Amino acid sequence: MEEPLRFKIRITVVRAIVLRDWSRKDQEFLKRLPPVAESIMPARIIRFAPFEVDFEQRELRKSGARVPLQHKPFRILELLLRQPGSLVTRQQLARELWPGLHVSFEHSLNSAVNTLRQVLGDSPRESRFIETRSGLGYRFIARIEESNGSVQVTSQGTNSSAYHDCLRGKFFLNKMTGASLQRAIGCFQSALKEDANCALALAGLADAHCQLLLGGTFCSPHASHSAREFASAALQAEPNSAEAHVSLGRLRMILDWDWDGAAAAFDHATTLDPASCEAHRARALLSSALGRHDEALREMRKAHTTEPLSLPIGYELAWLLYLSRHFSEAAAQSWAVLSLEPEFFPAQNILGLTYDQLGSHDEAITEFENACSCSDRHPSALASLGNAYGTMGSTSQAEQTLAEVAELSRRQHVSPYYLALIHVGLGQRRSALDALQNGCLEHDPLLLWLNVDPRFASLRSEPDFLALLRQTHGFAASALD
């Protein structure tokens, strides 16, 4: 019993150190956003797709996060945005960027434009932002939103207050706690009060309801209906919104088990915005659920490269590594997330799962206990703890955990998926299958992972399990990588 205690103390000390740094970053990020009521913006800001250019701060941001960009590529972007839709000649760019230069500027200009395109995820052959006029110059061709003075105006009348409410909503949504989820919903609702047709806010509310349903503690036809209505309204408000199409795809994936429909929505979002982090992220989860692990990891790594400090993306990368049986890599990625937020219980949970698969059972129990503590004993953490106790042969502790989850289910909704996990850990196959069948009847969103979750490996040869997969995924159990 001493080693698990020392392990817990060690990770507690490490996390206490990095927690101070993350809390400071957390506060600094929020301070960068003006108060909800603040509408005066002396700096001029131009937005397009997920990008925002702040000319006063000399910053390019994507989905609220700063994107490093060298001086000359930034100046090219600025010159193009000052004259959207108009040709900016190569000679004009040369005079602005290399004044007084009498030698050839061709190579330097080409290099700077290529750097800018790489950062924006643009292509000279299929341009979405910067169009090349061969031998002449360049045009900025995307729709822009300008802010200059007290109110930011777009072609559809969106104001700056609504936009910043959406940024706040996204920030709280990414924290993935019950309290932060409610704050996110409040921010998106506040944005709609400012702009009733704000597609970002409508898509954000659809995503918030999806997160609520995927937590496994909320089962409500009203929530499903609301999510669908918000996604539909987002598409109606902005048919070319990549975010709205991603939200639609998520609903098809977790509520309808419509894999082809979800893939089509994600593909369309990527067409609208090839650099869309959310589209790559959602496509990765779909591919993983269908057992296409290489494709899933490739897509999620694209998202993670774009937003390396995102807690949900970092956690989901760890989850996909776990599902694809890359357990050591999953553990390393979980630790990377915990270095940003030491009390982020989804990453603690995955770290426990990887330790359990690697045979480090005491360490796994420690992580599951940490996850229970940091999540106020969320049933997902309890299910992992009970499953681990069962597979270790600690029957008494597993049964106690099962009783706790069963008691919790009498007070609130608990996904049958969680109960099945503890039953399968205890070797109670029939009870596990019964729980999963109940989940199928409820159309439980967590059955998304039924095909690939390693904890159900002992059920994969059961006829009833294969029948469940045909109902949820349309096929029998996929071969493991």
Question: Residue 450: what pLDDT?
Answer: 95
Q: In sequence order, what are the residues at sequence separation of 6 or more whose Cβ sits closer than 8 angstroms to the Cβ of residue 445?
A: 210, 213, 214, 216, 254, 255
pLDDT 10s digits, 143-160: 787 765 333 444 333 456
Nearest CA-CA partner of 47 in 152, 142, 146, 141? 146
In the prediction, which pLDDT does 159 show? 55
Length of the chain (residues): 481
Amino acid 102: pLDDT: 53
Q: How confident is the model at residue 476 (pLDDT cuts 50, 70, 90)?
A: very low
pLDDT of residue 290: 95
Round to whole Å and give the CA distance between 267 and 273. 10
Question: pLDDT for 227-280, tens place per residue?
Answer: 999 999 999 998 988 899 999 999 999 999 999 999 999 999 998 888 788 999
Specify whether the CB–CB gap between 357 and 327 falls below 8 A.
yes
The rounded distance, in Å, linking the Cα atoms of 240 and 276 is 13
Q: Which among 455, 449, 463 has a CA at the least distance from the CA of 425? A: 455
Average pLDDT rounded to a whole number, residues 424-430: 97
| Bridge partners (DSSP) listed for residue 88 | 138
* Mean pLDDT lowest among 179-188, 211-220, 246-255, 269-278: 211-220
Quick one: average pLDDT of 393-419? 95
With contact defined as beta carbons under 8 Å apart, do 137 and 150 qualify?
no
Q: Give me the pLDDT at residue 364, please.
A: 96
Of the candidates 299, 375, 366, 332, the residue with the CA atom closest to the CA atom of residue 7? 366
Mean pLDDT confidence for 80-93: 85
474: closest CA among 256, 222, 149? 256
Q: What is the DSSP track for 86-150?
A: S-EEHHHHHHHHSTT--S--HHHHHHHHHHHHHHHT--SSS-SSEEEETTTEEEE-S--EEEEES
302 CB neighbour count, 10 Å cutoff: 18
Q: What local confidence, expressed as pLDDT, does residue 165 receive? A: 87
Of 41, 273, 247, residue with least CA distance to 143? 273
Distance CA 435, CA 444 (A): 11
Q: Which two tokens stand for residue 269?
A: 């979002």
CA distance 436 to 30: 41
What's the order of all strands across the beta sheet hosting 137-140? 88-89, 137-140, 130-133
Q: Give the pLDDT score at 25.
A: 45
- Percentage of the residues of the chain whose pLDDT score is greater than 90: 53
Between 448 and 152, whose confidence is greater? 448
**Tokens encoding 237:** 């408000």
What pLDDT shows up at residue 101?
61
**Residue closest to 352 by CA, chosen among 318, 309, 377, 379:** 318
Q: Domains of the chain: which residue ranges? A: 42-145
Global pTM value: 0.70
pLDDT score recorded for residue 83 = 81
The set of residues, in sequence order, having a beta carbon less than 8 Å from that of 422 and lying 6+ positions away, is: 383, 386, 387, 390, 398, 401, 402, 405
42-145 belongs to which CATH class?
A: mainly alpha
